[in-house]
Amino acid sequence: MSETLVIRLGTGNAELAEWVVVDDTGACALAPAAGPVAGAAALSAGRRTVCLLPATRVLRTRADVPVRNQSRLALALPFALEDLLAEDIDELHFASGTRHADGRLSVGVIRRTHLDETLELLARAGLAPQAIYADSDGVADLAGTTTVLLEDTQVILRDPGGDAVAAETDGLGALLELWLAQTRPAAEDSATTPRHLQVYDATTEGSPNTLWEELQEKVQSLEVRRLPDGALARLAAGIAVSPGVNLLQGTYAKRSSFANYWPRWRLAAALVAAAGLTMLLNAGLETWRLRRESAALDIELGQAIAHTFPGSAVPEVRALVDQRLQAGDTEQGLVLGRQFLDTLRTVAGAVSRTGSTRIETLNYRTGVMELTLRVPNADSLDSIRKLVTESGKLSAEIQSSNAEGEQIQGRIRITSAARAGGA
């Protein structure tokens, strides 16, 4: 299971941050820690690195942009939101995310200078994030329930099915009033959808109970949970399970590299390497087996040649046949010599394929070869006969078969099929 290092930068001292390591399910693999940004660099090796920026610095909204092509979409986004922004769009960076059921597109907007400063800060610390999100993207979208995350510096509110809204903590009261003033959508029975509120209080000292007591009278249900260890673990879990809009797009897109993908692909690479090694071993074993069979065939062929050409050391068969036939008609001798070699090659192949068989004598005269063989059983003798005749060029006949101890001594007479048919 892969792991993700989530680094959250604050709004105060830019050099300070907090970080945590989570797995694919959002569970903490390493406990949260805080300190200078460089302190997180030691944990980035072999892990995906993600950075969270304060939601107050990133505008998260939705835009109606029908363009589907990614390059054209990047050009159209600034103009689609231009009327909603007070700043010059040339000084802003736009990133797109999920397209929703109503056709609108999730969008993240940030000042280019702030994104540049963030990347420079991380680079100095030895960090190269694969993604940068607004920390509000880590607030889970709960069906039928509005979520509020309250911290010392900011508050994030997210309606079910909507984008998170962020404000400074001092604006909590105004943010809740605006939320209460919103018209609630009607349910299927035409009744107003009830308001359910889930509050996560991650402030240092905890918010006063009087605030929630007053609010409880205006909602159908209210639950307040304290996060004494801070909000990072919950935000990191939300990002790991359901990431929002990655700001590293366009000119800020992270260029892929082998090092980035290796941790996720190393298991597959190991399996491929193991499969390749197995194939090489199989090929080596097959080569060894074929060489061994070839050596055995050479031995059988040598024995047959020794019977036919006694006294020869390591004869070159064709040369010896030609020498023996020089006294007669040259062309006829060559034909008979090749016929003998073809017959001998067929016999040697048949003998080598029938196990522990030994040629005791071999005689060849005028196209007829007579063999005396010692075989394990009668079936082996018949098997040799069948192997010799399977090509259709030769005819083989078992002339005798005598038992000698646990073996059989047999004689086979081999002629060409044409000659046998003529006879």
Per-residue pLDDT of 375-386, as tens digits, reads 888 888 888 888
Same domain membership, residue 303 and residue 235: no
Q: Give 242-280 pLDDT, tens digit per residue.
A: 889 999 998 898 765 555 556 667 788 888 989 999 999
Within-domain flag for 271: no
In Å, how far are 121, 140, 168 from 158, measured between CA atoms?
30, 8, 15
Cα–Cα distance between 368 and 340 in angstroms, integer? 9
Q: What is the reported pLDDT for 17?
A: 92
CATH of the domain at 147: 3.30.420.380
Same domain membership, residue 349 and residue 306: yes
366 within 8 A of 377, measured Cβ to Cβ: no
345: containing domain: 281-422
- Contacts (Cβ under 8 Å, ≥6 apart) of 132: 50, 51, 52, 53, 115, 118, 246, 247, 248
Within-domain flag for 268: no
Q: Give 171-212 pLDDT, tens digit per residue.
A: 898 999 999 888 876 666 556 778 899 999 999 888 888 888
CATH of the domain at 290: 3.30.1360.100
Same domain membership, residue 296 and residue 245: no
Within-domain flag for 7: yes
Q: How confident is the model at residue 317 (pLDDT cuts 50, 70, 90)?
A: low
Cα–Cα distance between 146 and 323 in angstroms, integer? 105
Same domain membership, residue 301 and residue 173: no
% of the chain at pLDDT higher than 70: 87
Within-domain flag for 406: yes
363 within 8 A of 370, measured Cβ to Cβ: yes
Q: How confident is the model at residue 294 (pLDDT cuts 50, 70, 90)?
A: confident
Within-domain flag for 24: yes
Same domain membership, residue 291 and residue 232: no
Q: What is the reported pLDDT for 188?
A: 62
Listed residues 190, 220, 255: the one ending a domain: 255
Same domain membership, residue 115 and residue 44: yes
Same domain membership, residue 346 and residue 208: no
Same domain membership, residue 243 and residue 316: no
409 within 8 A of 372, measured Cβ to Cβ: yes
Listed residues 255, 290, 305: the one ending a domain: 255
Within-domain flag for 267: no
Tell me what the mean pLDDT of segment 325-351 comes to: 74
252 within 8 A of 119, measured Cβ to Cβ: yes
Selected residue with higher pLDDT from 366 and 105? 105
Q: How confident is the model at residue 318 (pLDDT cuts 50, 70, 90)?
A: low
Q: What is the reported pLDDT for 381?
A: 86
140 within 8 A of 147, measured Cβ to Cβ: yes
Selected residue with higher pLDDT from 315 and 82? 82
Q: What is the reported pLDDT for 256?
A: 53
CA 280, 286, 290, 295 dihedral sign is positive
Same domain membership, residue 170 and residue 98: yes
Q: What is the reported pLDDT for 206?
A: 85
Same domain membership, residue 191 and residue 287: no
Q: What is the reported pLDDT for 37?
A: 92
Q: What is the reported pLDDT for 255?
A: 61
Most distant CA pair in the chain, distance: 127
Whether residue 329 is predicted with pLDDT greater than 70 in this model: the reply is no
Selected residue with higher pLDDT from 382 and 419? 382
Q: How confident is the model at residue 119 (pLDDT cuts 50, 70, 90)?
A: very high
Whether residue 124 is predicted with pLDDT greater than 90 in this model: the reply is yes
Q: What is the reported pLDDT for 74?
A: 85
Q: What is the reported pLDDT for 421?
A: 58
Same domain membership, residue 339 and residue 381: yes
Selected residue with higher pLDDT from 210 and 239? 239
Whether residue 18 is predicted with pLDDT greater than 80 in this model: the reply is yes
Question: Comparing 126-135, 187-196, 226-235, 406-415, which segment has the lowest mean pLDDT?
Answer: 187-196
Within-domain flag for 273: no
Q: Give 52-107 pLDDT, tens digit per residue.
A: 999 989 999 999 888 888 888 888 888 888 888 888 999 999 999 889 888 889 99
Number of domains in the chain: 2
Q: What is the reported pLDDT for 419?
A: 64
Selected residue with higher pLDDT from 335 and 170? 170
Within-domain flag for 264: no
Tell me what the mean pLDDT of segment 288-311 comes to: 77
Cα–Cα distance between 96 and 86 in angstroms, integer? 20
Whether residue 284 is predicted with pLDDT greater than 70 in this model: the reply is yes
What is the residue whose two structure tokens read 């030994």? 358
Same domain membership, residue 310 and residue 204: no
